Amino acid sequence: EKGGYDYFMLKEIAEQPKAVADTLLGRIGTDGRLTLDELRISASDLRRVDKVVIVACGTAFHAGMIAKYAIEHWTRIPCEVEVASEFRYRDPILDDRTLVIAISQSGETMDTLMALRHAREQGAKVLAICNTNGSTIPRESDAVLYTHAGPEVAVASTKAFLTQLVACYLVALYLGQVRGTKWGDEILAVIKELGDAPTHIEQVLETMEPVRELARSLADAKSVLFLGRHVGFPVAMEGALKLKELAYMHAEGFAAGELKHGPIALIEEGLPVVVVVPSPRGRSILHDKIVSNIQEIRARGARTIVIAEEGDEAVAPYADHLIRIPATSTLLQPLVSTVPLQVFACELATAKGHEVDQPRNLAKSVTVE
Ligand code: M6R
């Protein structure tokens, strides 16, 4: 049942191109526009939405953080994202013009379920993004967009995460399409680019041997830091979460701009720091800023592991290890930049002799609050 792989996690990482392709299937029309009638929320209701609130836990929360960048950029609707366990206890402001998006692989996460119940009680419409047909969260929501990752068995979420990202992009683009923002042309170009994502992910998977080798060489590291900016920030947090849950190591994901406000004090000789570099095209200011961050940490002794786009030469002089990913538009980069981090955590945990499919103290679906 592991399809020739030693662990479900390895199998699920390898299945990502297909999971992403399946999640896109049937959702892009021949005219290049999205067809999401399955949402069953009318265009006029979507045009009335004046705030989006995303609730989720763990890896699904990181997908939600990325969705916020996409939603605000393409739709200009304010978007908040919060871990579900905090959300309802702070008396959030919601009404019938709020669209709440609950993201959950299992559809059974109690924290997320309680958050969506609270949202519906306040009159908000709830859209579930879920991987499990007929589970509780989609059943209790007003609408659902299923991810088609197939069953995810390993406790650490991989293919479900990439498909959650796809679903989030689809929702953001669809909201933009329905509401007709000034980004119309960009939206069409991104829908087209989404279709290339499975090939891009495949390309990353084919070049992972040096990442595995690097991970094995770091089995004795005490801590690993992850830095990113913009959508690379949630990717950094996801890389750190994977390492915590699988390798039982101290790992933190930071917004690179926050370094100088504290975390830079952690940098010492030999500390591995993974940096997710935004595309040098697009918002190039982000790229320039992160190049200086890499220089700053390297000057203080960090061992820099840099994930950067093919052809980005500016980072090369400061990278002790350079991991290449295909060029994408700024907002879609997480679909490729997350993959090396999954492989890294899985290999490092295996090198430490840990059971990657079933890490200690964790359950696949957390059905208690
Ligand atoms: O089933 P859900 O997506 O609601 O689960 C949410 C989290 O419990 C889950 O993503 C968890 O953080 C994973 N073990 C991360 O790999």
Name the band, by pLDDT with cuts 50, 70 and 90, for residue 183: confident
Direct distance between the N- and C-terminal alpha carbons of the chain, in angstroms, rounded to an integer: 32
Q: Is the pLDDT of residue 115 over 90?
A: yes
Please write the tens of the pLDDT for every residue from 222-250: 999 999 999 999 999 999 999 999 999 99
CA of 62 to the centre of ligand 1 (A): 10
Question: 156 in ligand 1 pocket by Cβ < 6 Å?
Answer: yes
Q: Is the pLDDT of residue 146 over 90?
A: yes
Mean pLDDT score, 104-127: 96
Name the band, by pLDDT with cuts 50, 70 and 90, for residue 195: very high
**Ligand 1 atom nearest to CA at 364:** 14
Q: Is the pLDDT of residue 184 over 80?
A: no
Distance CA 124, CA 93 (A): 10
Q: Is the pLDDT of residue 90 over 80?
A: yes
Q: Which of the listed residues 8, 105, 153 should we mutate to test ligand 1's pocket, taking the one with most ligand atoms within 8 A of CB?
A: 105
Q: Is the pLDDT of residue 182 over 80?
A: no
Which has more pLDDT, 91 or 66? 66
Name the band, by pLDDT with cuts 50, 70 and 90, for residue 369: confident
DSSP state of 5: -
Q: What is the pTM of this model?
A: 0.97
Mean pLDDT score, 23-43: 91
Mean pLDDT score, 90-105: 96
Q: What percent of the chain has pLDDT over 90?
A: 87
Compute the mean pLDDT over every residue in the chain, rounded to the nearest whole number.
95
Please write the tens of the pLDDT for every residue from 156-173: 999 999 999 999 999 999
Name the band, by pLDDT with cuts 50, 70 and 90, for residue 187: confident
Please write the tens of the pLDDT for every residue from 261-297: 999 999 999 999 999 999 998 778 899 999 999 999 9
What local confidence, expressed as pLDDT, does residue 41 receive? 87
What local confidence, expressed as pLDDT, does residue 180 receive? 84
Catalytic hit among 2, 51, 352, 364: 364
CA of 265 to the centre of ligand 1 (A): 31
- Residue 120: both structure tokens together: 């519906």
Name the band, by pLDDT with cuts 50, 70 and 90, for residue 50: very high
- Residue 210: both structure tokens together: 């040096």
Distance CA 100, CA 91 (A): 15
3-state SS track over 249-276: CEEEEEEHHHHHHCHHHHCCCCCEEEEE
Distance CA 150, CA 51 (A): 31
What local confidence, expressed as pLDDT, does residue 284 receive? 80
